[in-house]
Amino acid sequence: MTKRFGHRTALDGLDLDVPAGMILGCLGPNGAGKTTTIRLLAGLIRPTSGSAMVFGFDAADQYDAIQRRIGYLPGDFVAYPDLTGRQYLSYFAHLYGGVERKRIELLAKRFDLDLAVRIGALSRGNRQKVGILQAFMHEPELLILDEPTAGLDPLMQREFRTLLRETRDAGRTVFLSSHVMSEVEAVADTVAILRAGQLVTTQSVQDLKDRAADLEAAFLDYYSGQG
Ligand SMILES: Nc1ncnc2c1ncn2[C@@H]1O[C@H](COP(=O)(O)OP(=O)(O)OP(=O)(O)O)[C@@H](O)[C@H]1O
């Protein structure tokens, strides 16, 4: 895929496969094209050339065919401030074709989120939890998550990682972006590194661990173009 915004090239011929049943972590410096990739996969924007195929459907042109099968968490998650978490999630549950209320309540309990509070009155991390529930509650086959742990405290990050592993172990697929190599290392099976709109490398996390004595240093080399 190539995506241009005016004269600016956000993605420059990106060719990437996300294997089913895996967690793929997408890393890269600011402006590398991670969010653009995610928005293309989620069918929110159209590539300038090329295509994003999800379950064999064109994500932008055949969005209706994939909508209920994906869970999307935007990087800048914002929700209607006047609704409570419960009202907001019920609305989306309806759009998704129905979600068991019990499942929403269980997820909320797990993340220590009070669904009776107005979203506008929640802290940033607690708002992010509403976004996480929205993405996961209908148990989609593919999760597309833009910096999902932003704002979460360490305990909640740990809970979120457990949820990701359960999701993968249930045979579902996760594509997530992150700035934090240690986060990707902790959960992902595969890492894709973008730089300046291009794919620098895709590698299994285990391979990287085996090869690099200092993983953080290896990643920084990739980031800066030395790798
Ligand atoms: N709507 C837009 N209009 C113009 N330029 C855009 C738009 N969206 C993204 N870009 C540009 O495309 C490039 C890639 O941006 P993108 O947000 O995908 O990067 P990123 O890897 O997610 O960065 P970060 O780590 O800072 O979130 C940047 O140069 C950005 O300025």
Phi-psi region of 174 (alpha: psi -120 to 50; beta: other; left: phi over 0): beta
Residue 137 domain-assigned (yes or no): no
ipTM: 0.97
Torsions phi, psi of 189, nearest 5?
-85, -35
User: What CATH number did the domain enclosing 35 receive?
Assistant: 3.40.50.300
Residue 44 domain-assigned (yes or no): yes
Atom of ligand 1 nearest to the CA of 147: 27
> What's the number of domains the chain is made of?
1
Cα(28) to ligand 1 centroid in Å equals 12
Residue 89 domain-assigned (yes or no): no
Type of residue numbered 191: V
Residue 210 domain-assigned (yes or no): yes
Residue 12 domain-assigned (yes or no): yes
**Tens-place pLDDT, residues 86-122:** 999 999 999 888 889 999 999 999 999 999 999 999 9
| Residues having CB within 6 Å of any atom of ligand 1 | 5, 8, 10, 28, 30-36
Atom of ligand 1 nearest to the CA of 75: 27
Residue 97 domain-assigned (yes or no): no
Residue 158 domain-assigned (yes or no): yes
Atom of ligand 1 nearest to the CA of 38: 18
Cα(47) to ligand 1 centroid in Å equals 14
Residue 64 domain-assigned (yes or no): yes
Atom of ligand 1 nearest to the CA of 39: 18
Domain that includes residue 207, residue range: 3-79+142-224
Model-level pTM?
A: 0.94
Quickly list DSSP for 143-177. Answer: EEEESTTTT--HHHHHHHHHHHHHHHHTT-EEEEE
Query: Which pLDDT band, with edges at 50, 70 and 90, does 227 fall under?
Result: low
Contact 196, 32 (CB under 8 A): yes
Cα(102) to ligand 1 centroid in Å equals 38
